[in-house]
Amino acid sequence: MSCAELVPQVFRQPDRLSRSSGQSVYEEQFVKGWPTVPRSEPSVVPVGGATARDARLLRRRHALVVVLTFLTGAADAVGFLALGGAFSSVMTGNMVLLGLSAGRGNAELAVTAGSAIVSFIAGVLAGARVAGAARPDDPVWPRRVTTALGLELLVFLAFLVVWEVNLPDHSERVDLTLLMLSAAALGVQSSAIQRFGVPGLSSTYLTGTLTSLIGGVAARSPWHRLRPKAEILLALMCGAAVGALVALHQPAWAPALLLVPLVTVIAVAARMPQEPAVESPASV
């Protein structure tokens, strides 16, 4: 066997082992710090500097998704406690509430949960149009993801204005408008994260993340493989805890709790390089 034939097999071996053990390529990139060689180009050997750069960018992307998940938890807490008892991002929970409202004959709950669902769907549609679909030549953080988060920021700025105007009188009708704005914003965020094309990566719907984490624990997977999932779930709970405290005790600051994390993510993401990754993020 020639050297030209041997080198690609050496680099492709970890990928084969990873897939046989149930570890996703995203986890392999995040944990091991270097991406695999695309199978369509077996003769391309990763350059050390490029792979190190991609590993850093993958870790940075994960950190930004964790921050967005904190925002999600805060928005859900604010929505549930202060805006009518429905969620901004947990649409399965809102569907259950919609079913409960039918069983109990509670028209008010039906309107609240139904409005949140419709608004979230509208946000997903708008976000998908802005973010686009994952592409084989995508960088680790495509620019259109940042553009979609900019749209989310605009929706939350409208939320800020309506919140501050409504705060003194606290009209229930305006509360419903605020819930709809929050749900639409998180729908946009959901579509933005989908642009990465990474199965299981989300900042809004996280039951699958919990299932994967517990399944990994049952399979005695190493902690470094479970840590990214645990960090995302912990961020959700921390965001919900902080959001509950702010909504109950300092409601005037609730919009800031949503805006500050989002602005931080956009500011960092705007500086992410746009060169394609060695291993396309859209394929993991």
Position 274 scores a pLDDT of 84
Domains of the chain, start order: 64-274 (1.20.1250)
Position 205 scores a pLDDT of 86
Position 124 scores a pLDDT of 98
Position 17 scores a pLDDT of 37
Q: Which two tokens stand for residue 119?
A: 């608004």
Exposure string (b/e) for 79-109, b if CB count within 10 Å is 16 or more? bbbbbbebbbbbbeebeebbeebeeeeeeeb
Distances (CA, A) of 187 to 95, 178, 267: 15, 14, 20
Position 146 scores a pLDDT of 97
How far apart CA 157 and CA 256 sit, in angstroms, is 10
Inter-residue contact 142 to 64 (CB < 8 Å): no
How far apart CA 192 and CA 233 sit, in angstroms, is 19
In the chain, beta strands by DSSP E? none
Position 1 scores a pLDDT of 52
Residues lower than pLDDT 50 in the chain: 3-4, 6-50, 280-284
